[in-house]
Amino acid sequence: MGCRLNYLKNVVSLKLNREKCTGCALCTDVCPRGVLHIQNHKVEIINRDRCIECGACSTNCAFNAISVKSGVGCAQAFINAIITGGEPECGCSKNGRSSSGCC
């Protein structure tokens, strides 16, 4: 069933700078979507469309080798932003994206 849960194609803003990558693999640890993979001691994007732009990889790369325009993929956030004129921010008081058993 997991394979059916894919979002739009070719929208993701994920970018790599392979020059800077040291192959430490922390980004592959934190990615919850299996987007990244280490090949020949360098990071590689293997599932671009699965990326949810959470920013875990870029925040944790000590070498600035990954960038992504991160944010919450939440329509309500945009609607709130339009109404209040502020930044898109998810109400996210919703139990929302954290699945039931997670910590």
> How do 36-39 and 42-45 pair as beta strands?
antiparallel
Cα separations in angstroms, 94 against 33, 40, 54, 76, 98? 21, 41, 17, 11, 9
* Choices 2-10, 15-23, 38-46 (CB under 8 A): range interacting with another protein: 2-10
> What does the DSSP 8-state code read for residue 49?
G
| Least separation in angstroms between CB 77 and another protein | 6
Residues lying near ligand SF4 in the complex (CB under 6 A): 14, 21-27, 30-31, 33, 35-36, 43, 51-57, 61, 63, 65-66, 68
Task: Supply 18's token pair.
Answer: 């392979």
Footprint on this chain of another protein (rule: CB under 8 A): 1-2, 4-9, 11-13, 26, 29-34, 50-56, 59-60, 62, 69-79, 88-103
